[in-house]
Structure 1
């Protein structure tokens, strides 16, 4: 892949990246369907919150995305729950799965639908850095007080389903169909305006 193409994909993925949260209760069998490095596909809308409190279920999805829509623009009440939304047909790379006691965090990176082969066959310093941030968040905040605004029946209904699979555990996407190539590690130097590939890494969430 040409360097210019890599820059375009990484800019689309990481520029303006933010972290979002979605808590639910999942069975062990559903959680076990996720594997680090896996590419998954969600067919429905993905509701999530920018508010980060204690876990209100046994499973937290922490989702890194640069393309979430802020619904408070359309509904002022959405600001109270930090409501963001990803459109249907969203793809994610599973970056990390962490379990402490009876609680599990699954870290997903929202990726462009035209970059599945790249993200399946490569890793980057950016992925490693945001994974560390997600782990720290889970360790430090999993037992914090719950955010009352996220305990409503309506919000729990929006966020109860697993991401990337149906309620029986059938995945919406079979990432074994992605062509496997020699794994690559990509070093990325990111500034607020651009990304440089294969140079000294630097990264920050804005």
Structure 2
């Protein structure tokens, strides 16, 4: 695959990346069907929160996205939920499945459908760093008390459904199970692909280190 295509995908996907969360109580068998590097498509809108504290259910979807729409700017009444929404028919890559005891975090990367060949066929250093930070964040958050508002019935009714599969546990994307076994390309594992470039990032090494630090701090807090 051309390096320019990979660079375009990374610039558009990782620039301004933010973490969003969606907790639910899901059938353990359905959870076990997800596999690392799997590509998913969610047919419906994905309701997510900017908040994540303790987990009172058995599953947390942690979603890295730069395309979620903040609904608190439209309706102040949902501000207590940190309510954001991701467009229907969105595509995700399963970066990681991390289980501690009876609780699991599935880490998803939201990307544009046109970049499916890139994210289904390559693996990058930046993805590995997101996984590492995501696990560290989950470890810390499990020590916290659950967010009271995110356990209200109104919010739980919005987030009770699985992502990328039907209520019967069938994946919407027919080829979803095939992506996990594909051989990963080494084309994107260079240092150049580790941190996404944006038009605001200087090419100078000292500024690049500063941007790297602020990127992770902004992503996971």
What is the TM-score of this pair, normalised by structure 2? 0.84
1:175 match: 176
Relative to total residues, which structure has the larger strand share, 1 or 2? 1
- CA drift at 1:167: 1.3
Equivalences for 1:43-82 in 2 at 5 Å? 43-82=43-82
Equivalences for 1:79-90 in 2 at 5 Å? 79-90=79-90
Is the CA contact (8 Å cut-off) linking 2:123 and 2:184 kept in structure 1? no
Q: Give the Cα separation in 1 of the matches to 2:36 and 2:6.
A: 22
Is the CA contact (8 Å cut-off) linking 1:63 and 1:110 kept in structure 2? yes
SS at match of 1:126: helix
Equivalences for 1:31-180 in 2 at 5 Å? 31-173=31-173, 174-175=175-176
| CA deviations over 1:41-99 (Å, ceiling 9, x no partner) | 10000001011110121100000001110111111122221111100001000000011
- CA drift at 1:164: 0.4
What is the TM-score of this pair, normalised by structure 1? 0.90
Is the CA contact (8 Å cut-off) linking 2:35 and 2:177 kept in structure 1? no
Please, what is the CA RMSD of the aligned residues? 2.4
Is the CA contact (8 Å cut-off) linking 1:11 and 1:194 kept in structure 2? no
Equivalenced residues, count: 204
Q: Which runs of 5+ in 1 are unaligned?
A: none
Q: Which runs of 5+ in 2 are unaligned?
A: 203-207
CA gap 1:186/1:194 in 2 versus in 1, 3 angstroms: farther
1:190 match: 196
- CA drift at 1:186: 2.9
CA gap 1:176/1:97 in 2 versus in 1, 3 angstroms: closer
Q: Give the Cα separation in 2 of the matches to 1:53 and 1:176.
A: 31
Relative to total residues, which structure has the larger helix share, 1 or 2? 2
Is the CA contact (8 Å cut-off) linking 2:21 and 2:63 kept in structure 1? yes
Q: Give the Cα separation in 1 of the matches to 2:35 and 2:184.
A: 19
